[in-house]
Structure 1
Amino acid sequence: MRFHYSTLTAAILTILTTSHAYAENTKTEKQVALLPIVVEAQQGNEVGKQVYTQEDIKKITNVNKNITDFLRVNPNVQFSTDQSAASSQGELKPAEISINGAQSFQNNFIINGVSNNHLINPAESGGNAYNNFSTGSQGMAINTDLLCQIELRDSNVSAEYGNFTGGVISADTCAPKTEVGELHGTISYDYTSSDWSRFNFLTERESELFEEPSASHQKEFSKQGISANLYGKLSDAWSMNSYASKRESIIPVLSGFDTPYKVDQKRHNDNFGTTLFYEGNENLKAKFGIDYGLLDSMTYTASRRNSGSTLESQSLTTFAEIEQQLDGVKLTHKLNYQNLDSMRDSDNNYGYMWHYSAGSKDWNDSKTVSEGSILGDLNLEQASYSYQLKAALDPITWGKTQHQWIIGSGYEHFDVSWKRHEDVYMSNTSAINIKDLGQQSCLANDALCDATPTIQGWNGQYIAAGTIYKAGEFQAQQDRFHLFVEDQIKWGNFTTRLGVRGDYDSLSGNLNIAPRSTLQYRPFNDQRLRFTSGWNRYYGAQTLGTELQDLVGTLQEKMSRSSTTADWVITPAANSSNTRRSDLDTPYTDERVFAINSEMGIWDVGLKWVHRDFKDEISRTRTDVPNNGFNFSYQYANDGHGASDIYSLSIHNTQPILWGATRNRFSLGVDYSDVFRSYADYNAEFKEAEQERFVMYGGKVIRWSERPATNFNQPWTARASWDIQLTQLPITISNLWMYKAAYDDMLKDAVKVDYNGEKIESYSAQEIKPRFTWDIRTSYDWDLGKNYHAIFGLSINNLTNHRNRYSTGSSSTTTPRIMAEIGRQFMADVSFKF
């Protein structure tokens, strides 16, 4: 598609080509800084921990302005195969990520010190169904423009952190450092659209799918966002930072009707917050804040009348943190409250299908017509209170060793609920559900009866049967307690951290003990060479939706009537898909880490191996227990398992390299991932016999459970960056190259093969060709005078417009479809600082 030159684009290009004479003659004024809220001692080259500053965040192209999209720079983070799909570029929801092979919902996201995880149904594959919908893993999709720091702990994680089997992602908004009485701020705006993007279709069939815009193939979209920070020091002791952002995406899609021909599906992501900081003296510091987030998605079903529906997730968090320095110990208190309210709000509480009848049921030209909701209203609510206490003792010397003890404990209370506010009525055009009116007549005010002749020659039609999804509410509570002890020991050339964490939750009654340890040896007692190893256990967070689903199925009923004048008869609906809860163990992973790091001059080189065994993961297991007349049923169990090996090499310069009139920073990361998983997630059906059956794959006989993971498992990837700062011009240029090697997906063959006298299914390796992207961002900082700056930025994803592809994935019953990723894409932004 042709690049669209807007007023904003013209302004940016004009500024970037402006003569440097103005910049040379402009007096440089004092810059006012924003600092991360959490300022800690330099941890120096800690394996498994990466800290990204505000500068790092701003130099990476990020169309959706969220944390997970930024983390594509990290070699231990894997994205879904369709993360860059051309068909979904209008979405704002953060991408799901896997860290070192873990489930995408088993990461611990922390915003301003508060856990930011959905616990009811966070699985990406949860989808949208009558009794549930996927909330995604993050409660609040915070805008990265509001952040000063993102910290990722992917391995060798301290005993201080729990409730994950993947990694810990911590993000912090900013603390001001200004003169007393001064207020400063930043306002930013960004824009992109389908007119600024290229679509590189791989086949004629795929091109046909994009001929007209639809929700599943978003040919048209526009995204824009605005964010603002206002910060300052109110007195010698008090300072504040207030922040807000609003993002909107509009996705026009065909309505399926003549009028209107198109409707706008909309997405919104809003963030608001304020933090107050207190620093009375060196021994007492505190911060108090509130964060609010709203992420919603408004959709319509094509050719279905009155089918509007909105998925909405609201997050409200209040937090307080007090830091006290006493004799020999620093105490940190954290007290938090959070409410995550997710809802599906439909335009109505019914969904019916009719045979076409001219003059009545004729709102679109087809044999059948539909109206109303396809799912109905539903609320998933999660409220939590938490208190944490951490004591960091001053270092002590014992013989030739130095020890620093850290002790902490905490309590969390969760209330979760599933609620349908009103009955939802559904019916389709099956022979049971809709009948010929014949010689009957419709009673007055009977909306489920129509006396107009139908397309197949009936005198009229009436709904004789359907399904009722009853209103109801189910609740569950959970209390969690944790305690950890950790000792950081220095002894000559050795540094070690020995810790243990204990977690107890009231729902399962499980007491989980997780040892954590890491050892580092520096043969030269400096940073020239370091060997690091680690042995750790991590326990995940139990998905609380499993506590609610076993009763949800009881709300489904059948409705029927024998004639238009007969009373409705309500009977229980036989259903085999309901899932019972059972006594569940907490999922956990055992980790082994080995790393070699070296600082040679200004270069830091690291080689790391992470091995993980995933055990007791929650599965939806099919059983032989009869239910509702069926000879099988389902229950949640701990049948899931998996393993991963992640090898990574990283190189970067610790100080900028001066070349002519430029300052340059380089980095290179190469990683290899080998991941297998016995099942998809807790929503997918798990059959023991299915896992044990033999199949032929790639010329070898394997068990189905031994197949490679079909997602979050890109084998070879490479990332390289080159950041350029011009010393004679206020211009910065950041480049990020990413290469993902070819890999094989499973394609089911048409014929079976013989194995030990039996016929088994055969699968071939479907090669997914290598993917390459070159993302570039450039910005121009225009000094407008005393403490006033205008910053113009232009980001280009996939600069070379490389024709990348991805696989939609496969299972035992489906085959993958090869689809195109988005091509070259532009995004422009402008910021004003004062």
Structure 2
Amino acid sequence: MRRHLQGAAAAALAMAAFPAAAQVTPPTEAPVRATDGDKVPTIVLQEQNPASRSHHFGEAVDSGTSVFRRDSVEDRSPGSGDVNEILKALPTVQFSSTQGRASRADLQDLRPENLSISGGSIYENLFVLDGVGVNSRLDVSNDNPSHYIEGNAAASAQTVWVDAHLVGEIAVRDSNVSAEYGQFTGGVVQITTRRPRPVFGVETYYGETSPGLTQFRMSDKVRDALNGAYPDKPDYMKRRYGAAFDLPVNDRIRTLWAYTRSEAEVTNYRGANWAKYGDYGQSSLSETLMVKAEADLKSDLLLTGQVTWSPYESDFSHPNGVDNWVYLNGGGLTARAGLEGRRGAAEWTLDLTHAWSDNDRDSQRPGTVNVSTTAGIDWCSGSSCSLGGPGLLWQEQKDTTLKGRWTQPLGTGRLRVGFEIADVSAEKGQPYSAAFRHISSTAAQLRVEVGPQTVCLDPAEAAAGTCVTGSYALAQRNDTTAFDTRVNLQSYSLWGEYDFDWAGFMVRAGLRHDYESFLENHNFAPRLSISRDLPFAGMNLTGGVNRYYGRSFLGYALRENYPGNRIYRRTASVVNGKNLWVNEWKLYSHSETARYSNADLDTPYSDEFTLALRGPIAWIGGEYRLKGVLRESRDQFASSESVSEVYDVETGGTSTRRVYTVTNDGERSYRGLSLEYVREFGRDHTLSFSTNWSHTDATNISYFDISDETEFEGEYVYYQGQVVPKLRALADNQLLDFAAPLIINGDWSARWFGGRLRTNLNARWRDGFSRVDDTLVNITVNGVRYDVFDKVEYKASIDANLAATIDLVKTRHGAASLDLRVNNLFNSVLNQEYSSTSQPYQLGRNVWISVKYRY
């Protein structure tokens, strides 16, 4: 597949480089949409677009909505093309405090950034890509690529994503969300790719970054620990390129064909015992191939359809071994066919969608071989040498959905109703593989398994590396048992919403009902938003009371069929001083893995109260939005404490294993107050400012974490001069990651020299805060040893970014431009708490350079 898409990319770029013969000046378009009586959408020609506004506020009753239009996406997207990064302009969207680290794994990673919206978990947002839900119901928390049975280093909470080059609009809903949207307790992110244009057009680009365009920084903590003995700086290369073609068939049918590609390659280094093998590169690849079409069947009926194939590939080789490459897959495919129509004053839509995500792992050599170096092998040095890697894994999720919406005037208001029927399936499994090693590292045992007296009676073992005549034999085999498990659920949703004016109050009253066959709960989520224009200064006040329900998590169900562990051993026959080894094994031990069971669970939910004030600012100009959000999330999924369970083992007798149960013990609490201000200065400048104060508490981060109340019950620590319950010491703690207590954003877009130069400067300041944590010091009080807890200071940071696009040439054959994206403009250390001495660097100022062509 990779080779096929490379060929497609080369062909696309070649076509883009060939100038069209048409003698027209490339137009700048207003949004295209068929209107009443129009058979062909109208194109509005402009000399230049004005400076782009950061984002637009939703309607008054939709006070939690923010919309980024295409010009804003183009001006603010980073050089990496990750559209999630654009959402830093919103005060209620939080990002990880670990951003900016320059470890080899971070530099190689091309997945979109995780988001927390209004205090919600990063796993509980609703992502919608062109009307298709792209949300993982699987465990994406384990990012160890060589874990024997997880290895989800290419998985993401957002299963399918596209490059910013293809995005036409992003709508984010952080509060006061319409009943149309369900199955989330965080926020809603709707990403809509741009529509096909009714005239032929080409857009193409190429950009890259490398260490020559990057400054590397260290935290003071790491610098002091290294004391001048600094390791080599990272060596990497990132490229991003693509092309999009608008190819109208006729006046009624419009198509868009697009391909984008992002590459990352990072130099890695073998461990000390493997240094002779030299450096090696690890790479990641993110691609998108999209075909999108619109057809005007009638003046009031539009047929739309598209297929988006967006695979992600990442490879990994552990530095302490050879022949151990693993290839990790992510991303997937989405498809949609839809109808949009009108019937009198009513409007309706009907969509059939499908999403498939792939989180498989391929392995160069499944199963490891660990050999003592006393065997005289020549492929590594050290006490033990490893050959091969973890086994294959397959994991996928499929979602097929039919949904519809009807909107019509009713009485003095507007009625909107809709439905959604979905079938969701998930599968996880692995084939058989085995790991081989010596029974023991003791000298006596190694004399049996290692030495010139070794004779292997099965020639095939030499190729496998498990037995080599005259050198060594491995006498223990750990089996990875094959398994394949599938989980399926059906989801049904009905929703209705009525907007009406009641004595000067604009009211939006809605109700949503969700049912999933997995948890078998009927969930009714009321939504109410009331808005009122105030009699002074053009102000509007909106209040909302809403409930949101989450969705079923299938990770526990897939773990339920994890296979047990079986260890086999063999012994040598001694004949004439020779140790004869036969490829025959006897079961030595049998154990079962930890079990994960489902209980009679409730669906996680979040209750929200929100209040928003918006309006223009007299004399100064511009508009503001002041918003308070209070959320209490309950019944969140968490793990129980483990209990022992007795089971029969195949070698005879019984043993015990750990058993966990998924619970509803998790809780979250969020308090947030945000202020946003946007001002446009003619056509050449726009300014925006936003800030958010918030406090977020969470009892557990991952679904497989035990809630604090369960984990710490009865545990005591030493805090502020006395022994106290651990829960008391941690009671007022702010959530550490994805929860900066104070954020300030600034954004300035400008046009210069008649629009030939366009710039955007944006910055986000994260305040520092104190948090009660383990100091890693112990104290003994009355003969009892306690961990010492105290307040730990986390420092503030500022991340500023500059984008500049200059038109190099404009002719009848198109326009070419040079584009610079400067990240971390002030060369800051973004994370002063980072303490790794093996990979100590963080990204300081770094630049992406791109060239673009548009016709």
* TM-score using structure 2 length: 0.85
**Which residue of the partner structure matches residue 68 of structure 1?**
84
- Picking from 770, 779, 786, the partner of 2:796 is 770
**Which residue of the partner structure matches residue 191 of structure 2?**
171
Name the stretch that deviates more: 97-106 or 759-768.
Answer: 759-768
- Contact 2:769–2:793 (CA under 8 A) maintained in structure 1: yes
**Which residue of the partner structure matches residue 19 of structure 2?**
none
Q: Which amino acid aligns with 1:114?
A: V
- Contact 1:665–1:722 (CA under 8 A) maintained in structure 2: yes
- Picking from 22, 30, 33, the partner of 2:29 is 33
- Picking from 103, 114, 117, the partner of 2:121 is 103
- Contact 1:244–1:270 (CA under 8 A) maintained in structure 2: yes
**Residues 237 and 364 of structure 1: is their aligned pair in 2 closer, same or farther, counting only changes over 3 Å?**
same
- Picking from 298, 314, 331, the partner of 1:297 is 314
- Contact 1:223–1:248 (CA under 8 A) maintained in structure 2: yes
**Residues 118 and 532 of structure 1: is their aligned pair in 2 closer, same or farther, counting only changes over 3 Å?**
same
Residues 1:559 and 2:568 are matched in the alignment: yes
Q: What is the Cα deviation at residue 727 of structure 1?
A: 4.7
Residues 1:423 and 2:433 are matched in the alignment: yes
Name the stretch that deviates more: 72-81 or 41-50.
Answer: 41-50
**Residues 209 and 486 of structure 1: is their aligned pair in 2 closer, same or farther, counting only changes over 3 Å?**
farther
- Contact 1:274–1:289 (CA under 8 A) maintained in structure 2: yes
Q: What is the Cα deviation at residue 800 of structure 1?
A: 1.8
Q: What is the Cα deviation at residue 113 of structure 1?
A: 0.5
Report the secondary structure of 1:438's partner residue: helix
Name the stretch that deviates more: 528-537 or 227-236.
Answer: 227-236
Highest relative contact order (Cα 8 Å, sep 6+), 1 or 2? 2
Aligned residues: 776
Q: What is the Cα deviation at residue 759 of structure 1?
A: 5.9
Distance 1:38 1:822 in 2: 46
Distance 1:643 1:32 in 2: 46
Q: What is the Cα deviation at residue 327 of structure 1?
A: 2.7
Q: Which amino acid aligns with 1:603?
A: G
Distance 2:228 2:564 in 1: 38
- Contact 2:438–2:446 (CA under 8 A) maintained in structure 1: no
Percent same amino acid at aligned positions? 20
Q: Which amino acid aligns with 1:462?
A: A
**Which residue of the partner structure matches residue 24 of structure 1?**
none
**Which residue of the partner structure matches residue 627 of structure 2?**
608
- Picking from 774, 779, 787, the partner of 1:748 is 774
- Contact 1:61–1:776 (CA under 8 A) maintained in structure 2: no
Write out aligned runs for 1:270-309 (5 A).
270-309=287-326
* TM-score using structure 1 length: 0.87
Q: Unaligned regions of 5+ residues in structure 1, if any?
A: 1-26, 454-459, 810-814
Q: Deviations over 1:601-643 (max 9, x none)?
A: 5311121111111211111222334255337421222221121
Residues 1:320 and 2:331 are matched in the alignment: no
Residues 1:53 and 2:69 are matched in the alignment: yes
Q: Deviations over 1:194-221 (max 9, x none)?
A: 22111112334776999556xxxx8111
Q: Which amino acid aligns with 2:417?
A: I
**Which residue of the partner structure matches residue 479 of structure 1?**
490
Q: Deviations over 1:703-725 (max 9, x none)?
A: 43634322111111111011111
Report the secondary structure of 1:304's partner residue: coil
- Contact 2:419–2:495 (CA under 8 A) maintained in structure 1: yes
Name the stretch that deviates more: 96-105 or 583-592.
Answer: 583-592
Q: Deviations over 1:259-316 (max 9, x none)?
A: 5411110100000111110123332112011110111111111130101011112412
Name the stretch that deviates more: 39-48 or 685-694.
Answer: 39-48
- Contact 1:33–1:176 (CA under 8 A) maintained in structure 2: no
Q: What is the Cα deviation at residue 54 of structure 1?
A: 1.1
**Which residue of the partner structure matches residue 11 of structure 1?**
none
- Picking from 93, 98, 104, the partner of 1:77 is 93
Q: What is the Cα deviation at residue 783 of structure 1?
A: 4.2
Q: RMSD over aligned Cα, in angstroms?
A: 3.1
Q: Which amino acid aligns with 2:546?
A: N
Distance 2:32 2:518 in 1: 37
Residues 1:596 and 2:613 are matched in the alignment: yes
**Which residue of the partner structure matches residue 4 of structure 2?**
none
- Picking from 240, 248, 258, the partner of 1:225 is 240
- Contact 1:124–1:136 (CA under 8 A) maintained in structure 2: no
- Contact 1:485–1:499 (CA under 8 A) maintained in structure 2: yes
Report the secondary structure of 1:548's partner residue: helix
- Contact 2:699–2:708 (CA under 8 A) maintained in structure 1: no
**Which residue of the partner structure matches residue 422 of structure 2?**
412
**Residues 829 and 39 of structure 1: is their aligned pair in 2 closer, same or farther, counting only changes over 3 Å?**
farther
Write out aligned runs for 1:109-120 (5 A).
109-120=127-138
Report the secondary structure of 1:272's partner residue: strand
**Which residue of the partner structure matches residue 824 of structure 1?**
845
Report the secondary structure of 1:72's partner residue: helix
Q: Which amino acid aligns with 1:122?
A: V
Report the secondary structure of 1:233's partner residue: coil
Q: What is the Cα deviation at residue 174 of structure 1?
A: 1.4
Distance 1:272 1:436 in 2: 55
Report the secondary structure of 1:65's partner residue: coil
Distance 1:293 1:613 in 2: 36
Residues 1:504 and 2:518 are matched in the alignment: no
Q: Unaligned regions of 5+ residues in structure 2, if any?
A: 1-22, 37-55, 573-580, 648-654
Name the stretch that deviates more: 246-255 or 632-641.
Answer: 632-641
**Which residue of the partner structure matches residue 48 of structure 2?**
none
Distance 1:420 1:336 in 2: 29
Q: Which amino acid aligns with 1:369?
A: C
- Contact 1:86–1:822 (CA under 8 A) maintained in structure 2: yes
**Residues 630 and 749 of structure 1: is their aligned pair in 2 closer, same or farther, counting only changes over 3 Å?**
farther
**Which residue of the partner structure matches residue 481 of structure 2?**
470
- Contact 1:746–1:816 (CA under 8 A) maintained in structure 2: no
Residues 1:386 and 2:401 are matched in the alignment: yes
Distance 2:583 2:368 in 1: 22
Residues 1:149 and 2:159 are matched in the alignment: no
**Which residue of the partner structure matches residue 354 of structure 2?**
337
Q: Which amino acid aligns with 2:368?
A: G
